[in-house]
Amino acid sequence: MKLHIKTYGCQMNVYDSERMADVLAPLGFVLVDDADEADMVILNTCHIREKAAEKVYSELGRLGRLKERRKDGGGGLILAVAGCVAQAEGAEILSRAPYVDMVFGPQAYHRLPEMMARVGQGRVLDTEFPEVPKFDRLPRDRDPGTAAAFLTVQEGCDKFCTFCVVPYTRGAEYSRPVADVHDEARRLAGRGVREITLLGQNVNRYHGEASVRGGDWGLGRLIRELAGIEGLERIRYTTSYPADMDDDLIAAHRDVPQLMPYLHLPVQSGSDRVLAAMNRRHGADDYRRLVDRLRAARPDLALASDFIVGFPGETDGDFRETLRLVEDIGFCQAYSFKYSPRPGTPAADSGDQVEDSVKDERLRDLQDLLGAQQLDFNVRCVGRIMPTLLDRRGRRPGQLVGRSPYMQAIHVEGPDDLLGTIADLEIIAGLNNSLAGAPAGEPAGATLS
Ligand code: SAH
Ligand code: F3S
């Protein structure tokens, strides 16, 4: 049986899709790249903004027609919708798309084998939150086949930012036990993974229990522990909440060489008034001070962020505060979005919605500034030697693509045997979204200043 999984949205969905493939492998499913070849298709969906959710229904329409054609030819296709749209709109999917066989939320993946057994007997809907955390029953047995992998350590969120669906779709905050995380990281390293990105919607809220040595562990302590794993050369984590950045985690940026000098730290807005209305629990100056402390611990730390423009009630003055914050900090990379009202979240009901044309204008101005900062950061890398994890082939023959310590994509001409290794590259060009590199002449001892 052939399985195709199409993944939308965040890195956690990427991780979840891999786990679903692991759960289905013992039932005889092998992954294929093309939905048209598959016996079963899972859409792993994202609900964060309206556009993301809409994409799912148009893709479902296409797959519904494919299923019809198969039926005419005497064949079949199992269609499943997973992820956050499934969690939020399960019943609606079943009524809008009658050809869908299964709908299940992010907390039900470990129940897939039971659900599969029920497929022939009627349509399946599972959006329950589990009593036993799903991770206990999600195997990680397949070879990841890459040198960089994701590892979910924390899931869910209790922050309830007033624009965000995550606390509703992913549920309450949960941290995996230290021993489980350690075990999974060790296995990945044993299979050639050199870089791990620890994932969580609020990853720096991590507070796993260590059954052997007892007590509650924060993310800083977890990172120190993982840094002891042989072969694991790089550690990253995403996404963090500014108010949960504790002293120990900041110190880990100073003390742990494997922890990469790049941090994605969403701020959303530079206006205290808007931040309060978003229920963000930090002001703009709190963010500035936090960045100062992080840079004191790790002077070459590069910062990335997320922004929302046109949050209900946002004035021109509020928006200028956001631009001022961006100028003060200097980001290496950022994601920015127009506010998208999400059903069931408090901000969606505000009478103070900002006009779309105003959102467009603000988004353009913000992206111009962020784009210029990113290009400037990339250009300043030219001439430096950067250790680069080469983890995939490029589009052109003979081209490899890797990641710098600062998460920049680096393209280089090089032999295939460099794949999966960390090579020192000299940066020869800095572009808007990537760097070009060449093998460095004198790799030994080369470091980043
Ligand atoms: N901590 C989370 C962040 C959730 S969503 C994580 O796992 O990454 C990612 C980003 O989407 C947020 O930081 C925010 O900038 C944006 N976002 C969330 N809800 C949104 C909405 N309703 N409209 C526009 N952007 C939104
Ligand atoms: Fe969403 Fe805010 Fe949590 S952005 S994921 S509610 S920290």
Q: pLDDT by residue for the chain (449 residues), tens digit each? A: 999 999 999 999 999 999 999 999 999 999 999 999 999 999 999 999 999 888 999 999 999 999 999 999 999 999 999 999 999 999 999 999 999 999 999 999 989 999 999 988 889 899 888 766 677 777 776 677 789 999 999 999 999 999 999 999 999 999 999 999 999 999 999 999 999 999 999 999 999 987 656 678 999 999 999 999 999 999 999 999 999 999 999 999 999 999 999 999 999 999 999 999 999 999 999 999 999 999 999 999 999 999 999 999 999 999 999 999 999 999 999 999 999 999 999 999 999 999 999 999 999 999 999 999 999 999 999 999 999 999 999 999 999 999 999 999 999 998 889 999 999 999 999 999 999 999 987 544 444 43
**Assigned domain for 34 exists:** yes
* Ligand 1 atom at minimum distance from 307 CA: 15
**Assigned domain for 174 exists:** yes
Same domain, 146 and 188: yes
Q: Atom 7, ligand 2: which residue's CA is nearest?
A: 159
Helical pair 178-190 and 219-226, crossing angle rounded to 10 deg = 30
What local confidence, expressed as pLDDT, does residue 130 receive? 72
- The residue segments making up the domain with residue 95 are 2-126
Among the listed residues 321, 318, 305, 324, the one whose alpha carbon sits nearest the alpha carbon of residue 352: 318
The token pair at 213 is 């040595």
Distance CA 6, CA 200 (A): 21
Q: What is the CATH number of the domain that holds 430?
A: 2.40.50.140
Q: What is the CATH number of the domain that holds 91?
A: 3.40.50.12160
Same domain, 6 and 122: yes
Same domain, 115 and 200: no
**Assigned domain for 35 exists:** yes
Which pTM was predicted? 0.93
Q: Residue 347 phi/psi, 5° resolution?
A: -65, -25
Distance CA 90, CA 105 (A): 8
**Assigned domain for 205 exists:** yes
What local confidence, expressed as pLDDT, does residue 366 receive? 98
The DSSP line for 147-183 is SEEEEE-EE------TT--HHHHT-S-EE--HHHHHH
Same domain, 319 and 420: no
Q: Ligand 1 centroid vs 117 CA: distance in angstroms? A: 36
- The secondary structure of residue 106, as a DSSP letter, is T
The token pair at 51 is 């556009």
What local confidence, expressed as pLDDT, does residue 271 receive? 98
Query: How many CB atoms within 10 Å of residue 239?
Result: 20
Same domain, 376 and 395: no
> Which of 168, 337, 367 should be mutated for ligand 1, with most atoms under 8 A from CB?
337
393, 401 Cβ separation under 8 angstroms: yes
Distance CA 171, CA 156 (A): 5
Q: What is the CATH number of the domain that holds 317?
A: 3.30.750.200
Domain count along the chain: 4
Which H/E stretch holds residue 366? helix 356-379
What local confidence, expressed as pLDDT, does residue 216 receive? 80
Query: Could you say which of 217, 243, 260 is where a domain stops?
Result: 260
Query: Could you say which of 362, 380, 398 is where a domain stops?
Result: 380
**Assigned domain for 133 exists:** no
The token pair at 162 is 């007033």
139, 172 Cβ separation under 8 angstroms: no
Q: What is the CATH number of the domain that holds 240?
A: 3.30.750.210
Report how far Cα 4 is from the mean position of its chain's Cα atoms. Answer: 20
Same domain, 150 and 192: yes
How large is the C-alpha radius of gyration of the chain? 23
**Assigned domain for 284 exists:** no
Q: Which residues lie with the beta carbon below 6 Å from any ligand 1 atom?
A: 10, 48-49, 163-164, 166, 201-202, 239, 266, 268, 306, 308, 337, 339-340, 342
Same domain, 31 and 147: no
